Structure 1
Amino acid sequence: MLRVKAGDLDKMGLLFERYNRPLFAFFYHMTHKRDVSEDLVQNVFYRMLKYKHAFTGEGEFRTWMYHLARNILNDSVKQNRSSDHYDVSEMADKLGGGTLADEGFEKREDVDFLHKAMAGLSDDYREVLVLSRFQEMKYDEIAKVLNINEGTVKVRVHRALGELKKKFFTNERR
């Protein structure tokens, strides 16, 4: 990004090749809309070019990129107020380590219900799950992206998983 900032715009293609898929996955898990996610990825790269002067190189590029991505997603949600669908078809593999990864996910109805449960989480909880489980970011990276401390990230992930389990395994399911 520092080379792009210095005027070598050809390097933007390299950044696009490296980061377009992870950005698409982030947006798709947050919106569950392929076309919207593709547009949002394009907006991130447009803003990278527009605000290249703002990248100082002191922090990680990925953190700066996800700050842009979150701002673009928030802008999109405010404009559309219709982002209430989330993709969790691979949630069993990604969440792992608990009862959610059990054999119950073999049934399509379980996946459908988990999809609804994920959509029912607050934006804060859903976001930390997407960043930690789908984007495979470490807690310290998420803390930088969200501009909160690492302990808060750990608490949010723990509570988000608890909420998801509660929604999935309680009477709300029936």
Structure 2
Amino acid sequence: MNSLADNVLMLRVKEGDLYSMGVLFKHYHRELFGFFYHMYGNPDACEDMVQTAFYRMIKYKNSFTGEGPFRAWMYQLARNVLRDHVQQNKRSYHGQNLDDFAEKIGGGTLADESLQKTEQAIQLRNALALLSDAHREVLVMSEYQELKYKEIAEILDITEGAVKTRVHRAINELKIKYLKIEHER
């Protein structure tokens, strides 16, 4: 889907066409789940947050003007859902215990190369969890959600240059955290 098609669908939702919301849900469900998962970590809570985000899209449909891209509006709602969830649950949103996660995915016999990739992924996830909220958010949006800097700038209401700076700083901070975890191993 493209931005214009998404905007048209959301404008239809605004007029009461819930079938169009179903199309948007089908297209963006996984993407939003990925965003919440990389920001929060608990799959069950992430699924709940996805549902809440789509519920809010319907509830606050009149706030969508169609002037900006639907995706930016959707992520602004998603960020609010995440913030509300964290506040309500008084829990760190660095996610579930990653050691428990490692045990779940590391069970059985794995080839050494596969096990090493799994360990590296866990170390990367641990390093990502140690980043500041702002740095984790821009990395998740740019690297995992593959949003363009322009889209991130619209979502965060900052300039593209500020996004580039944040991403650069976040990557540098992530490298430091990752290497520290690697060294402690």
TM-score normalised by structure 1 residue count: 0.84
1:127 equivalent in alignment to 2:137: yes
Is residue 2:166 matched to residue 1:151?
no
SS in 1 for 2:18: coil
- Aligned pairs for 1:1-174 (under 5 A) are 1-82=10-91, 83-85=93-95, 106-170=116-180, 173-174=183-184
- Compute the RMSD of aligned alpha carbons: 2.1
Residues 1:143 and 1:85: Cα distance change in structure 2 (over 3 Å)? same
CA contact (8 A) 1:28 1:87 kept: no
CA contact (8 A) 1:24 1:37 kept: yes
Q: Is the 8 A contact 1:118 1:164 kept in 2?
A: yes
Aligned residues: 159
Q: Is the 8 A contact 1:29 1:87 kept in 2?
A: no
Shift of 1:172: 7.6
Q: Percent identity?
A: 57
Larger deviation: 73-82 or 142-151?
73-82
The 8 Å contact of residues 63 and 141 in structure 1, kept in 2 or not, is answered as: yes
Distance change (3 Å), C-alpha of 1:111 and 1:17: closer
In 1, the alpha carbon distance for the partners of 2:117 and 2:151 equals 34
CA–CA distance in structure 2, aligned partners of residues 87 and 127 of structure 1: 20
Q: 1:148 & 1:86 partners in 2: Cα distance? A: 31
Any unmatched runs of 5+ in structure 2? Answer: 1-9, 99-112
Contact 2:123 / 2:182 at 8 angstroms: preserved in 1? no
Residues in 2 aligned to 1:87 and 1:149: alpha-carbon distance in whole angstroms: 35
Answer yes or no: is the 8 Å Cα contact 1:86–1:115 preserved in 2: no
Kindly state the Cα deviation for residue 81 of structure 1 after the two structures are TM-superposed: 2.8
Judge conservation of contact 2:39–2:140 (CA < 8 Å) in 1. Answer: yes
For the residue of structure 2 that corresponds to 1:28, the secondary structure is helix
Q: Please tell me whether Structure 1 or Structure 2 has the larger radius of gyration of its CA atoms.
A: 2
| Structure 2 length-normalised TM | 0.79
Which consecutive residues of structure 1, in runs of 5 or more, have no partner in the other structure? 89-102
Cα gap change, 1:171 to 1:31, in 2 (>3 Å)? closer
Task: State the SS of the aligned residue for 2:95.
Answer: coil
